[in-house]
Structure 1
Amino acid sequence: MGELQELAMSIPLMLNWGAIKEESMQDEELGKIRADLLKNETNHPSNEGETLLYQGRLVMLRTSAHIPQLLQEFQKNTVGGHSGIQKTYGRLATELYWRGMHKGVEEMVARCEVC
């Protein structure tokens, strides 16, 4: 849990990490990845305890209810917000991963009147 607390401090909002972890644990697709890791059938994601990581980043469900909040916070944050697609994506991608993350950032920036 210390790892998740450290992660929470490095991003610009407080999330319910327990809920995100629970989503991950209940998802069938991520469960298969976790099972494959236990069998050493894949080299891409890694499993650190119960936390699924991809290239050192926390893996989230692409359908997570937390994603819109994350996108808004990273896009509109007073520190580095409204920085365009690549910088916003880069800030998110340092800590988090979900399928379709880049597209989500593109869509958010396209809707932003400031950008």
Structure 2
Amino acid sequence: MCDNEIKIIERLQEENALLKEENKILKTSIEELEARLAKYENAHAPPSLRQGGNSGTGRKKSSGKKPGQKKGHKGITRPQPEPDSEVEVTADRCPYCDTKLGSPFRIESEIIEDIP
């Protein structure tokens, strides 16, 4: 082999080594991007987790206490207001089959409040 061929071989070997290193870097980059993309495309994850970012950060930590009133706490119920008017609703016939109805076997009352 002559000097010219040896130089060409050495140059090609250097170029081959550079290309192998670049290929290795690109493969690593692709793996990282695919891992990030998988977080967004996971069909089983709820949308709140698919937003990306750090999972679990920013969440409130539990203080160890149970929610709600403590045992022995006396409950308070708002008293029912006095009705402004009473409306008696009756039906002589069934609204579905138009059969004549007899005397009622129960009477129900209902309070409807308008909240401003």
TM over 0.5: no
Q: Which has the higher contact order (CA 8 A, sep 6+)?
A: 1
Write 1 or 2 for the structure with the bigger share of strand. 1
Please state which band the TM-score falls in when normalised by the shorter chain: under 0.3
- TM-score, normalization: structure 1? 0.20
* Bigger Rg, structure 1 or 2: 2
